[in-house]
Amino acid sequence: MQFAVLVNAAADSPAAMTALNTVKALHTHPDHQLYRLFLYSDAVQLANRHAWRGDAENATTAQQWQQWVQQNGIAAEVCVGAAQRRGIMDGEHGSTLAKGFSLVGLGQWADAMINAERVLQFG
């Protein structure tokens, strides 16, 4: 079964961690596939590479997201408009976007809603 996951929850929201735990479970389940992971609204801060860097025990939610995305090769998509409004960019004038995340338009989310069998939203 293919899942599309929309995360709207800010990094300091418990829903952001619930979303991470859910996508981890989907990723490891043999009968489930993560069709699309889309960060929107305040959740785009989860993709900010300037999130606080500390030891693993005290890692922020954003860093846990970033680490999981990078370690598992997940295609994590970030709404370009929401990101730009929050100072997150990726381009010739600098980047604040963490590795493994890409800026995309809302068309990617529309595709997910059309083609995924299930849609989950957090936040």
Q: Give just the sign of the alpha carbon dihedral 101, 121, 68, 59.
A: positive
Q: Which helix (H) or strand (E) holds 39?
A: strand 33-39
How is 57-120 classified by DSSP, letter by letter? GG--HHHHHHHHHHHHT--EEEEHHHHHHTT--EETTEE-BPTTEEEE-HHHHHHHHHH-SEEE
Total count of residues recorded for the chain: 123
The yes-or-no answer on residue 79 being catalytic is: yes
Q: Which of 43, 79, 83, 103 is catalytic?
A: 79
Other CB atoms within a 10 A radius of the CB of residue 96 amount to 15
Which residue numbers are catalytic? 79
